[in-house]
Amino acid sequence: MRNSHSIRYTTSPLLASKTPAWRSKFIVALILLGFVLLVGRAFYVQVLGNNFFRHQGEIRFARTLELPASRGRILDRNGRILASSISAAGVWAIPEDVALDKPATREKLGQLAKLLGMPITELSAKVSVEDKNFVWIKHQLDWDIGKQVSALNIPGIYIKKEYKREYPEGDSAAHLVGFTNGDDLGQEGIELAFNKDLAGQPGSRRVIRDRLGNAVEDIGDEVPPVDGRDLTLSIDERVQAVAYQRLRDAVLTNKARAGSVVVVDAHTGELLAMANYPSFDPNNRHSLTGEQLRNRAMTDVFEPGSTMKPITVATALQLGRITPQTIIDTNPGRINVTGMTVHDDENFGVLTVEGVIQKSSNVGATKISQRMSAQEMWNSFTAVGFGQKPQTVFPGAVTGRLRPWKSWRPIEQATMSYGYGISASLFQIAHAYTSFAHNGEVIPITLLKTEEAPAGVQVFSPQVAAQVRHMMQLAASPGGTAPLAQTEGYSVGGKTGTAHKQVGKGYAADKYRAWYTGMSPINAPSIIVAVMVDEPSAGKYFGGLVAAPVFSQVVQQTLRILNVPPDLEVSPQIKTAASKG
């Protein structure tokens, strides 16, 4: 073998050959071109495409954090809380940061699903969405649960401070107060009607987040939130609770489908209570039905029946067509009107106008209506609010039905005099009765606390209003249709109503609505109470037997709550030992 040290590299022909000059120039040109491209790219990124790349960076790392405003409280007239906001937690995620492929993460997600009360499949679907930057998992969790979520320390899962509504009165005031949704926006009741005032204005904070979701730098100025304002209602929480409890008992006792109560301050038109049954708990709305959600006092319309008779009589009194002692012959207990028969439950014979109200005679109401024109009756019905949109901000308040007088046939004028062929809500009936309680003046019903009565419309004279109140007192006395409306210590007056329910184009033979509307004390009314019980099925269905007892209980407890002095002598309730036996 030849010795490697004998090789002479300097004499190698490869090394001795000359490199072409263009090759070195080409390499230098490539290097220069690379620098030019780098400079061009830098210019594009920093100048021409700056907005694009800045936007992409913001998408990945910049976040606008909403600073929630605390929703205003809803208070009753005495400052008791009907709705308030408490601290809560919202859970959100950056899906691209949630490592679903890691067993440890999947295990923690299972724990998270249990804390949130949702199936693991639903949670997994939320953190697997196409939008990799942000997704809400769940709103308005208890703050303690939020802290447990944070303690799991799952990459990509975060909590945010929110506010959650709490309703101390539960189901008794649910239809009145309403509730909010997951975004803390009003959905029903007062929460919806006054959402703009209650909600306030959320603030904002722009920050840069790191990969762990921590805010590392503020961008721009922080906009502080403006909390919503508190709202003081006309409602008295004590009266509301009484009205709801007595209504609930009546519905259950009479095996009824539903019921409503409205209580109004006769001096100011303030709504003191509005209750419905069945109801719901606004703090727990997982299994709500339409039956539970309906605010029947505002949204359900029905033929008011005999509660219209005082208005018919008041109209005729105001026009001078009758006096309280005018004789009305109801023999033989029925009357034919253009081929159709109007009848009473029995033959009441010869009655005065007072007797027509006391006995609730349909024949008597018909004969009184025949002394007036259709237009005169329509004007009066309209003036007390029938067929008119209620002047209230409450959502869902219905107009009811009152056809134009020009289309009335004689039989329709007759039936409207005792409450058939016209429809109204319980709220509208209570409103109409302010004309009797407020010396002939119809005043609007307000949901907000007020110090003085709003301006109303004088429909009847004070004398006519007093005369009709006396007639309604007779109707609530022995010999009238509703002696069960009597209340210990307070004089009362009102009118019953019992009507077959409309089914399709006719009336159901075995389905009724029973109601009672009245006021107390009768000579200087402090409150108006309207009660409706829908489809009682325990054997009794007349308003005087089903609704009047609820009226009596609500009136007695409400007047005592309001410290209204009794106007009747109160009989002793406690017997001494010597008097027994």
pLDDT digits (tens, 9 = 90+) for 557-570: 999 999 999 988 76
pLDDT for the residue 33? 84
Residues 84 and 211: beta-carbon distance below 8 Å: no
Q: How does DSSP assign 99-144, residue by residue?
A: -TTSHHHHHHHHHHHHHHTS-HHHHHHHTT-S--S-EEEEEEEEHH
Q: Is the pTM of this model over 0.85?
A: no
pLDDT digits (tens, 9 = 90+) for 130-181: 666 778 888 888 888 888 888 888 888 888 888 889 999 999 999 999 999 8
pLDDT for the residue 11? 62
> Would you state the structure tokens that stand for residue 64, as one six-digit string?
């606008």
pLDDT for the residue 580? 33
Model confidence at 19: pLDDT above 90? no
- DSSP-based three-state secondary structure for 414: helix
pLDDT for the residue 581? 35
Average pLDDT over residues 515-538: 96
Distance CA(147)–CA(2), nearest Å, equals 83
Q: How confident is the model at residue 573 (pLDDT cuts 50, 70, 90)?
A: very low
Comparing 63 with 338, which gets the higher pLDDT?
338
* Residues linked to residue 518 through DSSP beta bridges, in sequence order: 494, 529
Model confidence at 395: pLDDT above 90? no
Average pLDDT over residues 295-299: 92
Distance CA(254)–CA(321), nearest Å, equals 41
Model confidence at 497: pLDDT above 80? yes
pLDDT for the residue 576? 39
Comparing 1 with 356, which gets the higher pLDDT?
356
Average pLDDT over residues 195-216: 72
Q: What angle do CA 401, 403, 406 make, to 5 degrees?
A: 170
Q: Catalytic residue among 306, 369, 417, 425, which?
A: 306
Peptide linkage before 521 cis (omega within 30 of 0) = yes
What lies within 8 Å, CB to CB, of 178 at 6+ separation is 186, 187, 188, 189, 190, 191, 192, 193, 282
Q: How confident is the model at residue 574 (pLDDT cuts 50, 70, 90)?
A: very low
Nearest to 554 by CA among 306, 189, 260: 260
| Domains of the chain, first to last | 64-232 (3.90.1310.10), 237-281+294-561 (3.40.710.10)
Whole-Å CA distances, 513 to 70, 294, 366, 531: 43, 17, 22, 11
Average pLDDT over residues 73-102: 89
pLDDT for the residue 485? 95
Q: How confident is the model at residue 423 (pLDDT cuts 50, 70, 90)?
A: very high
pLDDT for the residue 218? 58
Comparing 142 with 321, which gets the higher pLDDT?
321
Residues 536 and 277: beta-carbon distance below 8 Å: no
pLDDT for the residue 210? 59
pLDDT for the residue 162? 83
Q: How confident is the model at residue 235 (pLDDT cuts 50, 70, 90)?
A: very high
Q: What percent of the chain has pLDDT over 70?
A: 88
Active site residue 425: no
Q: If you ran DSSP here, which 8-state letter would residue 527 be given?
A: E
Query: 461 — phi, psi (to 5°)?
Result: -75, 155
Average pLDDT over residues 7-28: 67
pLDDT for the residue 131? 61
Average pLDDT over residues 389-396: 87
Q: How confident is the model at residue 55 (pLDDT cuts 50, 70, 90)?
A: low
Average pLDDT over residues 432-437: 97
pLDDT for the residue 96? 80
Which secondary-structure segment (H or E) carries 160? strand 157-166
pLDDT for the residue 577? 38
pLDDT for the residue 57? 61
pLDDT for the residue 132? 67
Residue listed under structure tokens 């033979």: 509
For the ranges 399-403, 503-507, 519-523, 573-577, the lowest mean pLDDT is seen at 573-577
pLDDT for the residue 169? 93
Average pLDDT over residues 52-66: 64
pLDDT averaged over every residue in the chain: 87
